[in-house]
Amino acid sequence: MSNQKLISFFSLWIANSLVFLAASLILVGNVVLGNDKVSTPMAAVIAGFVLTTLMLVVEPAVKRSGYKVTNQNIWGLIYLVYNVTALWLIKRFALVLGLGISSLVYVAIIGVVLTLVQWGVVKATGSMKKGK
């Protein structure tokens, strides 16, 4: 794995974890980090890691499907669908991962925020440039 990919992975992991922490502070009662098994900071780190790790499958899955992405904005839509779906899956394992979200409305809201933050990180790290 190249240094550029490692920087991108860790940047996305940190950004995702910070979004979870911010969501738990802003949406009190609707987004809960931690439980009796996992502390609040550790829940953010674990949920961010799981989301970032699962993200590694998105691009190969799209390429394997045969769909040709000609517009960069389509990637944003693909990652939005991924974020909402992955977030819903992560919340289903709240007892293990420590991230609880009260409803699908908040899953969608956080999914949109995650997509925007990830887009910013990708632009800042340059990880989606041609040839990388």
Asked whether the predicted pLDDT for residue 130 surpasses 50, the reply is no
User: What is the average pLDDT across 1-25?
Assistant: 91
Residue 96 within any structural domain of the chain: yes
pTM of the model: 0.88
- Rg over alpha carbons for the chain, rounded to the nearest Å, is 15
Residue 131 within any structural domain of the chain: no
Domain count, the chain: 1
The pLDDT tens digits of the residues spanning 66-115 come to 888 888 888 889 999 999 999 999 999 988 999 999 999 999 999 999 99
The pLDDT tens digits of the residues spanning 22-45 come to 999 999 989 999 999 889 999 999
Residue 132 within any structural domain of the chain: no
CA atoms 104, 74, 16, 116: torsion sign: negative
- Per the structure, the complete domain to which residue 30 belongs is given by 3-125
Q: How far is the C-alpha of 41 from the C-alpha of 12, rounded, in Å?
A: 17
Residue 103 within any structural domain of the chain: yes
pLDDT at 123: 87
Size (the chain), residues: 132
Cβ partners under 8 Å of residue 44, min gap 6: 17, 18, 20, 21, 24, 33, 99
